[in-house]
Amino acid sequence: MSNNKKNEQLEQFKTDDHGKKMTTNQGLKISEDEFSLKAGTRGPTLMEDFHFREKMTHFDHERIPERVVHARGYAAHGEFECYESMKEYTKADFLSEKGKKTPVFVRFSTVQGSKGSAELARDVRGFATKFYTDEGNYDLVGNNMPVFFIQDAIKFPDVVHAVKPEPHNEIPQAASAHDTFWDFVANNQESAHHALWLLSDRAIPRSFRMMEGFGVHTFRFVNTEGKGSFVKFHWKPKLGVHSVVWDEAQKINGKNPDFHRQDLYEAIDSGNYPEWELGVQIVPEEDEFKFDFDLLDPTKLIPEEDVPVKIIGKMTLNRNVDNVFAETEQVAFHPGHVVPGIDFTNDPLLQGRLFSYTDTQLIRLGGPNFHELPINRPVCPFFNNQRDGYGRQTINVGQVNYHKNSLANNTPEPALPTEGGFEHYQEKVEGRKVRARSDSFKDHFSQATLFWRSLSDVEKQHAIEALSFELGMCKEKSVRQQVVDMYANVHLDLAQPVARNIGVDVPQEGVTGDGKQSPALSQENSSKLPDTRKVAVLVAEGFDASVIKVVDEMQKQGLEPAYVGEMLGPIKAADGTEVEVEKTFLTGASVLFDAVYVAGGEQADEAFNKKVEEYVQEAFEHYKLVAALTDEAAIMDKLDIRNATGVLIDDKVNKGFAKEFAVLAAKHRFWDRNLQAG
Ligand code: HDD
């Protein structure tokens, strides 16, 4: 375990029951735990049975309310390392010096579904990071998409009500494909841009480890001179940004609803620590009005081509939690947890968030002392006059619990800014009290069009299919019509085919043709590596011994091959060498792997061959790399795919086969296959 202040702090709270005698919560040793105390072996249970009462009462109260959004989540510990001093822009201590390390805790989540829902839902992913800095906790509570549904926090309950399961029948779970959500979008068109991100492949990530993260809002950096700059935060995954395809997502949800958490857990457990670089887009205050959108509008992004992302540090997740409830469930994030040098802007969504997060923790975590829970404690000490409340753990000694005072020499006392005291940025504001939206927030479509135009042809096709699916699930024709009419304002190439697919009038007027693009918005342009990609090696008894070498070499290339066969347990190669089958065709479906290698075997029978055929067919249809030993290559002819891209034959002579396999596996998918198959 990596040694950092947070890990050391958490150690003090850990307890290990292993090998111990059982006690009550009062420490009394218990002599019997299977039978309640009764009046006679067949008689009634006695009220006196304190052990039964304590055990049952605790159990009855085990559950807490799930998060109203982002209920399904998974988290890990790690650390952030600063690459270079950012003192020019911010006095934040954790960004002040090259090499400075700060413990972090990161929770990824889906938004819509309940705590037990499947993870490959088409949804936004939460990407919340708690930095345990020496100056207190700093929370960057972001998402894997750079914009948001709404412009003003007062509409948050509405968008969440609309996307959640419908109230009259509680359907659907973990899905936005229903009438109320799309009715909301059509009637609150500020959502058009974000909803397009939801239709893009970003909404069905291959892994948490392959997602970008965004702070979304424009925040503010402030340096020691008190000079402010606007800043947007980005997390860039080292493994690049990759997604599954929709058909695959739906199947994964059935085969392994824990696909994402398991992927993260296993990567960390096996030492393949996921990494993201932190990037910032910095805009000098003088440039506030140089954009054709308002920097305070959270439905807008700053194209990276206009303001480059400066990489300033790296985050590595290197430790799984010990207890999901104690850590992942009880962690409480809040965009208002800031440190000196990082401040807010007047983004009306951010302003409202500053209220909501503490408020929600009060009900979810049962009172005002949730900051004392081990996972939420800062690594620096904290002192103030806040006292008491449910579950208070701190024993504040002394007589004085108010400020100002003379009895304690007026302590605890506020710190001067030079002593690290947080000083709100002295922004000049003036205006009339109004319930209104600035005119500069009124363009809802230009950036949605920019995003559309920036997608690759395949990504566009996926978005068309996604919208056809989503609206196809809406019962009300009027809702379907309103949404395609709205998307005509984004691009007719999106609205028209969808309209045809879902049986509504095809809009004729709208945006057409080419225009500005932002290549950084297409995930096709992100990095592609073989690392940790999972390969299913399909084997039968008596398989060719050369396969074992190939599998070893695949591992060296960073791939994660696993033998898949009819039965679990040891299986012999033709030369008698034994390997272990880790997954069967029942438990190791093709959708759970990134690539397939058909090794076959002397004793492969018809049933085996049939399963292999289905397996390869499915992987191929999901555009994955499929390969086979020469002796097994007939399957490629049978499926008529031998000449398609991403289809490889291992002739046993090519010593570099595994390397070639790794290079192709890194490509992620072979989208041009539809054109080339046969
Ligand atoms: Fe939020 C949770 C991200 C707008 C109110 N939000 C929550 C989480 C993430 C985000 C990642 C889960 C944190 C965790 O893992 O525990 N939320 C965002 C982003 C937003 C956003 C990126 C827009 C840029 N949120 C937003 C608004 C409001 C909220 C406008 C209300 C005014 N969010 C909440 C909440 C949650 C929450 C109700 C539910 C659980 C929690 O806070 O701790 O307070």
| pLDDT surpassing 60 at residue 373 | yes
Q: Is 602 helix (H, G, I), strand (E, B) or coil?
A: coil
Q: Is the CB of 360 under 6 A from ligand 1?
A: yes
| pLDDT surpassing 70 at residue 310 | yes
Q: Is 579 helix (H, G, I), strand (E, B) or coil?
A: strand
Which ligand 1 atom sits closest to the C-alpha of 355?
A: 32
- Best substitution site from 64, 66, 67, 260 to test ligand 1's pocket, by max atoms within 8 Å of Cβ? 67
Query: For residue 124, how far is its CA from the centre of ligand 1 (angstroms)?
Result: 12
Give me the mean pLDDT over the 358-362 stretch. Answer: 98
**149-159 pLDDT, tens digit each:** 999 999 999 99
Angstrom distance (rounded) from CA 293 to CA 329: 37
Query: For residue 128, how far is its CA from the centre of ligand 1 (angstroms)?
Result: 9
Which ligand 1 atom sits closest to the C-alpha of 67?
A: 40
Q: Kindly tell me the burial class for residue 393, based on how many C-beta atoms sit within 10 Å of its own C-beta (0-12, 13-18, 19 or more).
A: exposed
Query: For residue 337, how far is its CA from the centre of ligand 1 (angstroms)?
Result: 13
Q: Is the pTM of this model over 0.90?
A: yes
Q: Is the CB of 213 under 6 A from ligand 1?
A: no
Q: Is 600 helix (H, G, I), strand (E, B) or coil?
A: strand
Determine what percent of the chain falls in helix, strand and coil, rounding each to the nearest 5: 30, 20, 50
Residue with CA nearest ligand 1 atom 15: 107
Q: Is 47 helix (H, G, I), strand (E, B) or coil?
A: coil
Angstrom distance (rounded) from CA 94 to CA 145: 25
Task: Please give the pLDDT value at position 260.
Answer: 98
| pLDDT surpassing 80 at residue 468 | yes
Please report the DSSP string for 398-460 in residue order. Answer: SS--SSS-STTTT-S-PPPGGGT------------------GGG---SHHHHHHHHHS-HHHH
Q: DSSP code of 103?
A: E
- Best substitution site from 110, 208, 357 to test ligand 1's pocket, by max atoms within 8 Å of Cβ? 357
Which ligand 1 atom sits closest to the C-alpha of 214?
A: 22
Angstrom distance (rounded) from CA 66 to CA 382: 28
Task: Please give the pLDDT value at position 673.
Answer: 84
Q: Is the CB of 107 under 6 A from ligand 1?
A: yes
- Best substitution site from 333, 354, 370 to test ligand 1's pocket, by max atoms within 8 Å of Cβ? 333
Give me the mean pLDDT over the 414-429 stretch. Answer: 96
| pLDDT surpassing 80 at residue 80 | yes
All domains of the chain in start order, with CATH:
73-376 (2.40.180.10), 452-524 (1.20.1370.20), 528-676 (3.40.50.880)
168-194 as b/e, with b when 16 or more CB fall inside 10 Å? eeeebebbbbbbbbbbbbbebbbbbbb
Structure tokens at 559: 């791939």
* Helix spans in 278-430 (H): 348-364
Angstrom distance (rounded) from CA 150 to CA 157: 11
Query: For residue 257, how far is its CA from the centre of ligand 1 (angstroms)?
Result: 23
Structure tokens at 670: 């072979």
Task: Please give the pLDDT value at position 579.
Answer: 98
| pLDDT surpassing 50 at residue 484 | yes
* 677 pLDDT tier (thresholds 50, 70, 90): very low
Which ligand 1 atom sits closest to the C-alpha of 352?
A: 32
Catalytic residue numbers, as ranges = 70, 143
**565-597 pLDDT, tens digit each:** 999 999 999 999 999 999 999 999 999 999 999
* 678 pLDDT tier (thresholds 50, 70, 90): very low
- Best substitution site from 64, 70, 344, 355 to test ligand 1's pocket, by max atoms within 8 Å of Cβ? 70
Whether the complex's predicted ipTM surpasses the cut of 0.95: yes
Give me the mean pLDDT over the 546-565 stretch. Answer: 97
Give me the mean pLDDT over the 629-655 stretch. Answer: 93
Q: Is the CB of 308 under 6 A from ligand 1?
A: no
CB 347 within 8 A of CB 298: yes
* 1 pLDDT tier (thresholds 50, 70, 90): low
Angstrom distance (rounded) from CA 564 to CA 596: 10
Task: Please give the pLDDT value at position 3.
Answer: 82
Task: Please give the pLDDT value at position 2.
Answer: 59
Task: Please give the pLDDT value at position 613.
Answer: 97
Which ligand 1 atom sits closest to the C-alpha of 68?
A: 39
| pLDDT surpassing 80 at residue 474 | yes
Which ligand 1 atom sits closest to the C-alpha of 69?
A: 39
CA-based torsion, 673, 674, 676, 678: positive or negative: positive
Residue with CA nearest ligand 1 atom 4: 353
Query: For residue 149, how far is its CA from the centre of ligand 1 (angstroms)?
Result: 12
**59-71 pLDDT, tens digit each:** 999 999 999 999 9
Give me the mean pLDDT over the 351-362 stretch. Answer: 98
Give me the mean pLDDT over the 380-408 stretch. Answer: 97
| pLDDT surpassing 80 at residue 674 | no
Task: Please give the pLDDT value at position 607.
Answer: 96
Residue whose structure tokens are 């579904």: 113
Mean predicted lDDT score pLDDT of the chain: 97
Q: Is the CB of 357 under 6 A from ligand 1?
A: yes
